[in-house]
Amino acid sequence: MSLPDEIRKRAEDLRAQLEHHNYLYYVLDQPEISDAEYDRLFNELKQLEEQYPQLRTADSPTQRVGAEPLDSFRQVKHPLPMYSLANARNKSELEDWHRRLCKLLEEAGIDPATAAYVTEPKIDGLAVSLVYEDGSLARGATRGNGEVGEDVTANLRTIGAIPLSLRLEPGEQAPPVVEVRGEVYLPLAAFERLNEERAAAGEPTFANPRNAAAGSIRQLDPRVAAQRPLSIWCYQVGYTEGLELDSHWSALQWLRRHGLRVNPMVKRYDSFAGVYEECRAWEERRAELDYDIDGAVVKVDSYRMQDVLGIAGRDPRWAVAYKFAPSTEITRLLEIEISVGRTGALNPIAIMEPVEVGGVTVSHATLHNEDDIHRKDIRVGDLVVVQRAGDVIPQIVGPVIQKRTGKEKVFHMPDICPSCGAATVRPEGEVVVRCPNKSCPAQIVESIKHFVSKDAMDIDGVGEKLVERLFELGLISNMADLYDLKRENLVGLELSSSVNERGKRVPHRLQEKSVDNMLSSLEESKRRPYHRVLFALGIRHVGSINAQLLASRFRDIDALAAASQEEVAEVEGIGPKIAESVREYFAEPHNRETVSRLRKAGLNLSVSEEEREAHRTLEGKRFVLTGALPTLSRSQARELIEAAGGKVSGSVGKSTDYVVLGENPGSKAEKARELGKTILSEKEFLELTEGD
């Protein structure tokens, strides 16, 4: 159908009006027209686009909800990592952060007195990345692990506060690429309404606004997200092409000018004076806000200074999150249960009357060990003060002693294991009480859970509940039994049951597709490298890094099993404690039998000549290690480099290929930048050396 000129112009005018009113409503909170008038304009444009489909564009206001439900979210790599922030929980820690960055600036020849700072609220929502290409929203993703997130473009398009196109001045050219970072949240009033509606409909309510926002964005059907009044505060410009900015403050102004929603209460300070007071002011005003915040963020304003300060691990040195004091509540400690870990450790778990702490309903808390319980004088039956440590992990601060009635009971760790009945022991010098029985059902189940976990064998489809059920039914009693599972024994297997509205029991069974995926993943796991299998065995104290170090020295498991404790301890980064655990593991006939069965199943228990060459990915490369790494010792890092064929030197020079940067690196980091050498974080270094 031909498109009359006046129709095209009317559609363009309607789009411009709707975009203008969206901006006034969502970004400035200054609507000029009624909802009814907005709906009239919207419906007129929608009718024109239906009559003339060639008018319809991806950034039209009518296309915010246009995608079909997805089967799953695809993963996307962020153009620049979305780093986490280090925390400061009081004035002293905030000042310590400031002193460290001043020292680094001085070492770089920059006067710290010239540094300016920006303060802004730390929104308790879902971090997202928005990529605009030539001015149009091309992709939106969750933060994920900071490197890779999930593509949730269709859901983010439903949020009215996110412009589908950047606002441009007449004649202004949009940058080819600009990445905008922000925090999606659900306003508190909207959260209350949503929970009331869900309760009325018989649906489960959300624990807090953050969960509601995250759950909305991760809906596979965009129509669900569209029904929830989500909003966003944009706080950073990330990766760009064709856009030059020199400071964080100028980036925030650029975002504002181009239609992005920036919190109106962000402030810039020409010096550090006043920054702490502003953080405290945010803490005091948090109850007045219509959105949740869990802290204030402080950033060095200058991009040049940010580059000089760099990154420590996964935390930028130029920014810090001033975390507010965690919320606390009082509830009753009903009992202390014991869970048994894979190494036999008995872990006390507090069972409490449910209480909402910081917006989350809490009924369990960690109690660490018996000594800690006695030190705090926590007794069963006490009223206790509960807090969410770091606003995440529930913990008991202590009892409300003045409320005691005399009926409270002092806790003692059991003399026998609650899982198998064996007499418990407390090794000399340890605070942990253990079950010494290697055949303890709880230890076996936990060891199998560890074996299938993502960092070990990464067996998709075999979760913790399924492991427990397979063990309960006698289908597995050892990690090696996983590889003997038969399809005919799994399809239709009852996992759990529920009662429907008629009071009838409804079983939930394992479906054919799930079984096929699980068996396929088990088969794929046979290709995992030797060091991953070594870690998956669950040898006490042998983490993923230590497993790599051991595999580099002992090229097959037979060599490791035959090695003396002294020989194992000679491996750099291992030491006598881990060596003792290794010897104890291989001294157990049951463990040797497990290794034998895994070998028969086809798992990699040695490094082949081809793998040795493939793993020597750093042949001839020279490394310099500087600063304290988050998890690796200097000797461990050296061992990994040399095992992969690389060499370590003490100074940065022309022949240096990589500089591995830790905390407080000193002058070597600056020298590396001057010479244009590749600088690696610990995570990047481990990815380089692992060679999976």
pLDDT tens for 59-71 read 777 766 555 555 6
CATH 3.50.50.60 fits 87-323, yes or no: no
Q: What is the pLDDT of residue 667?
A: 67
For residues 322 and 326, what is the distance between their CA atoms, to the nearest angstrom? Answer: 12
Over the stretch 288-333, which tens digit does the pLDDT of each residue have?
788 888 889 999 999 999 999 998 877 899 999 998 876 678 899 9
> Alpha-carbon dihedral of residues 107, 109, 111, 114, nearest 10 degrees?
-110
Q: Give the least confident one: 270-279, 550-559, 657-666.
A: 657-666
Q: Indicate the class that CATH gives domain 616-690.
A: alpha beta
Strands (E), 95-192: 117-123, 126-133, 136-142, 148-150, 177-185
pTM > 0.85: no
For residues 390 and 326, what is the distance between their CA atoms, to the nearest angstrom? Answer: 7
Query: Between these two residues, 163 and 17, which has the higher pLDDT value?
Result: 163
In CATH, the number for domain 5-63 is 1.10.287.610
Q: Where do you find CATH 1.10.287.610 in the chain?
A: 5-63
Question: Which whole number is the average pLDDT over 279-292?
Answer: 82
Query: Between these two residues, 193 and 158, which has the higher pLDDT value?
Result: 158
In CATH, the number for domain 530-612 is 1.10.150.20
Q: Where do you find CATH 1.10.150.20 in the chain?
A: 441-525, 530-612
Is a pLDDT exceeding 60 seen at residue 612?
A: no
Centre a 10 Å sphere on the Cβ of residue 32 and count the other Cβ atoms it contains. 11
Q: Where do you find CATH 2.40.50.140 in the chain?
A: 328-404
Measured between alpha carbons, how far is residue 7 from residues 10, 17, 47, 244, 649 in Å?
5, 15, 11, 39, 71
For residues 367 and 282, what is the distance between their CA atoms, to the nearest angstrom? Answer: 32
Q: Where do you find CATH 3.40.50.10190 in the chain?
A: 616-690
For residues 688 and 53, what is the distance between their CA atoms, to the nearest angstrom? Answer: 51
For residues 633 and 638, what is the distance between their CA atoms, to the nearest angstrom? Answer: 9
Contact between residue 69 and residue 220 where contact means Cβ atoms under 8 Å apart? yes
449 is catalytic: no
CATH 2.40.50.140 fits 328-404, yes or no: yes
Q: Which fold has domain 441-525?
A: DNA polymerase; domain 1 (1.10.150)
The one catalytic residue in 122, 299, 449, 668 is: 122
Give the residue among 92, 254, 260 at the shortest CA–CA distance from 162.
260
Residue 367 carries which DSSP code?
Answer: -
Is a pLDDT exceeding 90 seen at residue 228?
A: no
For residues 462 and 450, what is the distance between their CA atoms, to the nearest angstrom? Answer: 11
For residues 244 and 599, what is the distance between their CA atoms, to the nearest angstrom? Answer: 57
Query: Between these two residues, 602 and 543, which has the higher pLDDT value?
Result: 602
